[in-house]
């Protein structure tokens, strides 16, 4: 089974209506390219624009049952393609940075809100999410276990590790920041240590503080019947705006996960208690 994922590395428009139109057109093009899943960059509903005034940011936030979000659910059903749409989500006391994943029948399969918000910067106006979840996504040719992280979540190994322990095979990672060697290395490491595919969609150059370089790491570091190691990076986009399609060999990934030693096979969780000790938070 091959899973085709379209990374919608797009420049945003200037309004919610423009975001909807640009996004719907891109999803239609992704379907024409043969995609099973189309993924947006972080907080597509407002192009990752975060005013620092409480009233202003709350006014920009939308609900998950808004016309904008429901339109992508309807489009997913029409195209018979899963869509991962991102939004500034209305929430009390502060908005959330969220992803909604619709399956190819238009049903919501995953609702994830960024846990590790950049509270030291513009995201101090947001609330953090409260957990990492995995869903079974029917893509027509089979079912894939999908989870999500968002941008800064990648810097915390626990994020991807929890998803792996919950069964995730593919992690969707919307993004809005410069993807340089260290951030790309973090994504590669999350894929390597957990034997998962990590799919990141960023904004292209032209969007402030972004530079494209959306990536897909397929999580397979070597093959039993071939010498040496292989490059897990099966796609790295340029800086330019565009729709970039990657194809993940799920049979190869599943065989690798079954036979190799990384991931959960040799963990010693009884020694990890410090990881959740509250008094270590600021260490």
In this prediction, residue 137 carries a pLDDT of: 98
Per the structure, the count of domains in the chain is 1
Per-residue pLDDT of 61-115, as tens digits, reads 999 999 999 999 999 999 999 999 999 999 999 999 999 999 999 999 999 999 9
pTM of the model: 0.96
Per-residue pLDDT of 8-25, as tens digits, reads 999 999 899 999 999 999
Mean pLDDT of the chain: 96
Residue 201 has pLDDT above 80, yes or no: yes
Closest CA to 247 of 139, 164, 134, 161: 139
Question: What range defines the domain where residue 181 resides?
Answer: 2-280
Per-residue pLDDT of 149-197, as tens digits, reads 999 999 999 999 999 999 999 999 999 999 999 999 999 999 999 999 9
Per-residue pLDDT of 262-275, as tens digits, reads 988 889 999 999 98
In this prediction, residue 100 carries a pLDDT of: 98
Residue 283 has pLDDT above 60, yes or no: no
SS3 letters across 157-204: HHHHHHHHHCCCCEEEEECCCCCCHHHHHHHHHHHHHHCCEEEEECCC
Whole-angstrom distance, CA of residue 70 vs CA of residue 102: 10
In this prediction, residue 224 carries a pLDDT of: 85
Q: What is the mean pLDDT of residues 126-138?
A: 97
3-state secondary structure of 34: coil
Residue 281 has pLDDT above 80, yes or no: no
Q: What is the CATH number of the domain that holds 21?
A: 3.60.110.10
Q: Alpha carbon of 111 to those of 27, 116, 178: distances in Å?
A: 19, 16, 25
Please state whether beta strands 143-148 and 134-138 pair in parallel, antiparallel, or not at all (unpaired): antiparallel
């Amino acid at each position: 089974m091959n899973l085709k994922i379209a990374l919608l590395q797009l420049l945003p428009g200037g309004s919610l209506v423009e975001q909807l139109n640009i996004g719907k057109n891109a999803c239609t093009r992704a379907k024409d390219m043969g995609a099973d899943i189309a993924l947006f960059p972080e907080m597509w509903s407002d192009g990752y624009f975060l005013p620092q005034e409480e009233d202003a940011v709350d006014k920009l936030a939308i609900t998950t049952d808004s016309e904008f979000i429901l339109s992508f659910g309807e489009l997913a059903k029409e195209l018979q393609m899963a869509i991962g749409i991102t939004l500034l989500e209305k929430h009390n006391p502060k908005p959330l940075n969220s992803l909604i994943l619709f399956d190819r029948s238009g049903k919501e399969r995953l609702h994830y809100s960024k846990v590790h918000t950049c509270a030291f910067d513009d995201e101090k106006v947001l609330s953090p999410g409260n957990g990492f979840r995995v869903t079974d996504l029917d893509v027509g040719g089979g079912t894939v276990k999908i989870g999500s992280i968002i941008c800064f979540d990648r810097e915390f190994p626990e994020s991807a590790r929890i998803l792996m322990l919950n069964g995730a095979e593919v992690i969707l990672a919307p993004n809005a920041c410069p993807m340089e060697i260290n951030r790309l290395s973090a994504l590669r490491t999350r894929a390597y240590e957990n034997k998962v595919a990590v799919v990141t969609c960023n904004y292209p150059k032209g969007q402030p503080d972004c530079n494209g370089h959306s990536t897909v790491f397929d999580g397979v570091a070597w093959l039993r019947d071939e010498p040496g190691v292989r490059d897990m990076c099966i796609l790295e986009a340029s800086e330019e705006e565009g729709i970039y399609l990657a194809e993940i060999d799920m049979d190869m990934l599943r065989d690798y996960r079954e036979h190799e030693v990384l991931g959960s096979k040799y963990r010693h969780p009884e020694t990890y208690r410090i990881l959740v000790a509250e008094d270590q938070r600021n260490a």
